[in-house]
Amino acid sequence: MSESGYLESEGSPRIWRGPSAARHLVRVSDGSKHSPQEVLHFSNQIREILGSKESASHFRVASEAVEFNMFASSGDELDRLTKLLENRGFNVLSTKLLDTPQEEMPEDEAVNVGVLLFNEERFWECHEILEQTWRVSRGSVRDALQSMILTAAAFVHYQKNEPEICLSVLKRAKAKMVSNPSLEELGLGELRSKLDAILESGRVRPFKLRTGRARAARSSKRVATA
C-alpha cells in the first residue's frame, strides 16, 4: 500500500518477465460501452490475443475503454503486440511507458490534470499524478489531495469489479474531507456531495468533476500524454 492512495500493488508485476521487459499502460476500445463486470472476459480475450497470460496484467474496464499493463522488451515488440490487438478489432487509444519519473507540475495544474483524467475514467493515472503533488504538500491541502487520491483509488477497484472494496475506500476518502476548507480552494468542493450520494445509496457509479476553466485547455494537453 502506498502512503496516500492504496495502489502500490498496481505497480508491482509479480511474474518475472526478464531484465529488459518494460511495462506499458495500454488503453484500448472496441467502440462499444462496457462495465467492470466484463473484466474477466477482457483479460482472457486480450491475453489470448497477445499469446500468453504473462503478457498483460491489472485489467480495468471503463465505460468506453479497457486499460491494462502490457510488457514489451523493445519498441518493435510493443508495435507487434499493439498490431495484434488492432487486428482483432481493438482501437489502441494510448500507450504509456511506466516506471519512469513523473513530470513535476504546480499544485493547481496537477489538480486540474487529475480532474481531467478522473473525468475520462483514467483513475489509475489520476491517482499517480496527484500522489506526486501530495508527497510535497502540507496541512489541510495534503488531506484534501489525499481525499481525491483515495477517491481515484476506489474507482480503480470499481473498474476491477471490486465494488465492496471501492465503497470501503470511498469511506476513507470521505473521512479526509471533514471540515476541510482546502477542498474548495482546490476546486474540489463538489467531491464531498458526490461521495455522499454514493455512500448513502451503496451504488457505485463514476461521476465527473468540474475543473478551472482558465487552466482547462492547458491541462488537457498534458492529459493527452499523461
| pLDDT tens string 115-148 | 999 999 999 999 999 999 999 888 888 888 999 9
Question: What is the side-by-side strand order in the sheet with 66-72?
Answer: 56-61, 66-72, 22-29, 91-97
Task: Please tell me the predicted confidence (pLDDT) of residue 222.
Answer: 58
The superfamily in CATH containing domain 8-97 is YebC, transcriptional regulation domain (3.30.70.980)
* DSSP SS3 for 13: coil
The Cβ of residue 98 has, within 10 Å, a number of other Cβ atoms equal to: 14
Q: pLDDT tens, 82-93? A: 999 999 999 999
Share of the chain above pLDDT 90, in %: 63
Q: Is the pLDDT of residue 109 over 50?
A: yes
What per-residue confidence (pLDDT) applies to 188? 78
**Residues 85, 71, 96, 90, Cα dihedral to 10°:** 10
Task: Please report, for residues 5, 17, 110, 152, the alpha-carbon distance to residue 132 in angstroms, rounded to integers and kept in the order given.
Answer: 11, 27, 9, 14
Residue 28, pLDDT score: 99
Which grid cell sits at 14? 509479480
pTM attached to this predicted model: 0.86
Question: Looking at residue 99, what is its pLDDT?
Answer: 86
Domain ranges for the chain:
8-97, 107-225
In the block, residue with C-alpha cell 495534503: 142
Cα dihedral sign, 205-203-154-176: positive
Question: What confidence score (pLDDT) does residue 215 get?
Answer: 45
Give CA–CA dist 156/144, Å, rounded. Answer: 19
Compare 206 and 19 and report the one with higher pLDDT. 206
Which CATH architecture describes the domain 107-225? Orthogonal Bundle (1.10)
Do domains 8-97 and 107-225 share one topology? The answer is no
pLDDT (0 to 100) of residue 4: 59
Is residue 215 within 8 Å of 108, Cβ to Cβ?
yes
Please name the residue ranges forming H helices in the chain. Answer: 39-50, 75-87, 107-119, 123-134, 139-159, 163-175, 182-185, 190-201, 213-225
- Under the banding of pLDDT at 50, 70 and 90, the label for residue 8 is low
- pLDDT tens digits, residue range 181-215? 777 777 777 898 999 999 999 999 999 987 654 34
Q: Is the pLDDT of residue 32 over 70?
A: yes
